[in-house]
A and B are shown apart, each in its own frame.
Chain A
Amino acid sequence: MRGLIAILLLIIVALGFSQSLAEIPFGTPRAKIGRHYIEEGVRETGAVNIVTSVVVNYRGFDTLGEVTVLFIAAIGLGAVLTVSGGGETRKTHPASLVLHTGCRFLFPLILVFGSYIFIHGHLTPGGGFQGGAIIASGFLLMYLGCRERRISRVASNLAESLGGLVFLVMGLLGLLFGGFFLLNFLPKGTAHTLFSAGIIPIIYIAIGFKVGSELAGIIDNLIEES
């Protein structure tokens, strides 16, 4: 009986949603700002990848907030997981030779691929967040295959802090030189080349380091502490 009522309610909700969604004309541009980004984005920011020009340049302040949210989440997780302090270390089986060798072979390739993605964020799809996540998945592979190799906490914290600091300093330099926080004050250069788009590649490299070290740190915390 209760299941029947639930299904009836769900059908009513679904009907309401479909009716109201059918009224929205999807695909037709309603706001002018989207067309402005597509037509003027490359000229104004120098970044060929329009997604990057929106994420880092037009909406850079939102990205700073996003990075802050991830930072707080990583800190909170670290604080919760390390509060017990020095739990018993679990017995782990050593990885087989194939897995061990495969990990050691693949790990640098994954790092290079992730770095490529965030360094070329303004030219090709991807950017700091995607590259950082790929680098963190490389560290995950390392934790699964070669347990004896660990990244030092100091290096990880250093990369994370430097990433956040570079992002903030670039924003403040924009404030200093042009009067706006996160203003793209560096020369744009020629589009389609690596050294173009002003501060966008610098900020995306900083975000890549920060996101990669944070996500790797989360996995490190989870595996280390029981």
Chain B
Amino acid sequence: MIFIVSFLVLLMLVGAVAASVFRDLISAVIAAALVSLLAAILFYLLHAPDVAMAEAAIGAALTAAIFIIAISRTKRYEE
């Protein structure tokens, strides 16, 4: 159990760093959505299915969609 949780947290850290490093904003949004998705799995493993559901639906799907819509209205690459 502790290994799975540590692996998930490690992946989340990688995703978070990638989200801040990427110049391509679409990739950054995907990385941020990955962090949310892994957080949802982590919540589920830690016996909080209520929070996991909200995190998966809002964090991974809706937030990423809103960010991508905003990017499609502006510029894709960070200067």
Residues of A within 8 A of B (CB): 49, 51, 117, 125-127, 129-130, 133-134, 136-137, 140, 144, 215, 218-219, 222-223, 226
Contacts and interface: CB of A to CB of B under 8 A. Distances in A.
Contacts of A125: 49-50, 53
Contacts of A134: 53, 57
Interface stretch (B3-11, B17-25, B31-39, B66-74): B66-74
Contacts, number: 44
Interface in B58-79: 58, 61-62, 65-66, 69-70, 73
Given A218-B66, A222-B69, A117 B53 contact: yes
A51 B50 contact: yes
B54 interface: yes
A185 to B, nearest CB: 25
Contact of B54 (A49, A130, A140, A226): A130
A174 B46 CA distance: 36
A222 B63 CA distance: 12
Contacts of A144: 65
Contact of A226 (B61, B66, B73): B73
A223 B65 CA distance: 10
Contacts of B66: 218-219, 222
A140 B54 CA distance: 16
**7 shortest interchain CB distances as A-B pairs:** A133-B57, A125-B49, A130-B53, A137-B61, A222-B69, A51-B50, A125-B50
Given A127-B50, A136-B57, A137-B62, 16 more contacts: A49-B50, A125-B50, A125-B53, A126-B49, A129-B54, A133-B53, A133-B54, A133-B61, A133-B62, A134-B57, A140-B61, A144-B65, A218-B66, A219-B62, A219-B65, A222-B70
